[in-house]
Structure 1
Amino acid sequence: MQDAPEFQPYGLPHLTVIFLTIVLPFALAAIVQRTRSQRLEKVIIGVLSAVLLVNYIVYLLFIRSQGLVDWWQMLPMQMCDWGMVVVIVAMWTGSQRWFEVAYFWGIGGTLQAVLTPNLRFGFPDWRFISFFTSHCGIIISVVFLMLTRRYRPYPMSIVRVWLWSEFYFVVTLITDEMTGFNYGFVLHKPEAFSILSFLSDSRPLYLLQMHGVALLFFLGLYAPFAVVDLFRRGQSTGGSGEPPLSEIERVPR
């Protein structure tokens, strides 16, 4: 364990992981759309689900067998743990509501972990592989759903996911206070540099700012869809913000 290579942010292994995370969902979606096979889509969903679950279970069993952590450090209380469950449920149920949660949690929370991972071990250490398998697997699954089923968030999605996030926050806060473990980085900032590093050292203010960061992430993740919607509305009204001529002609004189 002492010989494990140190993780190098944006080194070749890290950049390779980021590249695969971008390419894989588009490649998988292209295969499904080209073959138009629902069976193949189910197979891909099954593989993605199995990879996420098996990776999670094997990771827990291994670190426990090595005596690396205590049981209270193995609880499924990280945001990526909840995100994994939600995205698997979304893939198998085809639910727009579950997709919304998976989108904002999977992209908003997990993407930050991929770009600025709280990780000490580099490739080919098994912890490097397991960490990125879980986090990147969630992102790949979310984007795959967006491409194959045309799912997308809507304005009310932000409200619904915010309420789910508050539920996660309360449960995590209670768990952290009981165990002393920093699930969800609610007790303190992560050791590795991330956007949370810029927040206050005062815990009450830190938690308040964390909520603000989450809201900004949610708004930022919805922004591209809002822009597209505005653009389409502008096109339908001739770009002038006025109703099209066909609509004006229907107005009774």
Structure 2
Amino acid sequence: MAYAPWLDPYDAPPFIAFSTSHMISMTIIVLLVLLLFLFRHSLRRLSERSSRLLRIGLASVMIGSEIVLQLWYVYGGIWSLQTSLPLELCSLTLLLSALLLLTRTRWLYSAVLFAGIAGALMAIVTPNLGYAYAHFRFIQFFTAHAMIILALLYMTWVEQFRPGWRSVAGSMIFVNIAALVVYAVDVLLGANYMFLRHKPNTPSVLDMLGPYPVYILGEEVLALVLFTLLYIVLFAIPDRVSQHHNRKKTKTHQIQSKL
């Protein structure tokens, strides 16, 4: 078999935060989000069959990204119970977001919406990643995390699922239940999924939240703040602007009717 440096798990240039490739990757993700928002009305007009095929396609990319990651672990001889199971928060939200695309289940949407977007955003800005572009792991990492955000925003902007404040609570409950289950697995396997037993070896936002186990409490506060901000920015403010626009439009129509 020919040597493929872009698949080598050992001999690869290290990832550098906010390098050119990192900045380009973040820019591409922002542009994809903007395109999804701009074409949301066109996507809503798709037939039911076309919409279903699109959701299946998106879900397939998401599930496929996890499958090829597992195959890469095996190919590189680095698969292990301690590090390779899909038990990180973003791995869980990736698979659950794919399931959401396939089932359009509203309680699942409420559970993963803010946890998925916030977790993926944090991972994209401060990646726990050891491989630079154009290594397979670099491409897989940013593809998977971008797909989490795009899938959840697709369900919001195209499928028109709407969260309430309860969705913030739902995401907090989901994160804590997941953390309890994953911590039990960590103890059983001697692993550190979701960084529940110690911080990652690469720089991350956890470095600002204090030592173990204080940073876990800090994560709880940070999650609540991020989930709340996401709700305000993505839903509360747009809803208020839309209501104001509709009232203004109705008032204008009433005045024109009197004339």
Name the TM-score, length of structure 1 as normaliser.
0.83
Distance 1:19 1:234 in 2: 32
Gaps of 5+ in 2: 1-7, 249-259
In structure 1, the partner of 2:255 is none
1:45-84 matches, cutoff 5 A: 45-84=55-94
How many corresponding residue pairs? 238
Partner AA of 1:11 in structure 2: S
* CA deviation after TM superposition for structure 1 residue 125, in Å: 0.6
In structure 2, the partner of 1:18 is 26
Partner AA of 1:223 in structure 2: I
Matched, 1:190 2:182: no
User: Does the aligned pair in 2 maintain the 1:103–1:142 contact within 8 Å?
Assistant: yes
Distance 1:211 1:32 in 2: 33
Say which is worse superposed, 117-126 or 190-199, in terms of deviation. Answer: 190-199
Distance 1:125 1:95 in 2: 35
Quickly say closer, same or farther: Cα 1:85–1:123, change in 2 above 3 A.
same
Matched, 1:223 2:232: yes
In structure 1, the partner of 2:53 is 43
Quickly say closer, same or farther: Cα 1:23–1:145, change in 2 above 3 A.
farther
Please state whether the residue corresponding to 2:162 is helix, strand or coil. coil
The one-character-per-residue Cα deviations of 1:191-224 (angstroms, maximum 9, x if unpaired) are 2222211112142x22222211111111111122
Matched, 1:162 2:195: no
In structure 1, the partner of 2:185 is 175
Quickly say closer, same or farther: Cα 1:144–1:237, change in 2 above 3 A.
closer
Matched, 1:91 2:101: yes
In structure 1, the partner of 2:257 is none
In structure 2, the partner of 1:208 is 217
* CA deviation after TM superposition for structure 1 residue 31, in Å: 5.2
In structure 1, the partner of 2:146 is 136
User: Does the aligned pair in 2 maintain the 1:90–1:102 contact within 8 Å?
Assistant: no
Distance 1:47 1:25 in 2: 17
Partner AA of 2:171 in structure 1: V
Partner AA of 1:47 in structure 2: G
Quickly say closer, same or farther: Cα 1:28–1:42, change in 2 above 3 A.
farther
Distance 2:199 2:110 in 1: 27
* CA deviation after TM superposition for structure 1 residue 21, in Å: 1.6
Distance 2:212 2:204 in 1: 17
User: Does the aligned pair in 2 maintain the 1:25–1:141 contact within 8 Å?
Assistant: no
The one-character-per-residue Cα deviations of 1:76-105 (angstroms, maximum 9, x if unpaired) are 211112101221122122233222223212
Distance 1:194 1:210 in 2: 12
Matched, 1:124 2:144: no
Instruction: Give percent identity, aligned residues only.
Output: 27
- Within the candidate set 90, 103, 117, 2:113 is matched to 103
* CA deviation after TM superposition for structure 1 residue 112, in Å: 0.4
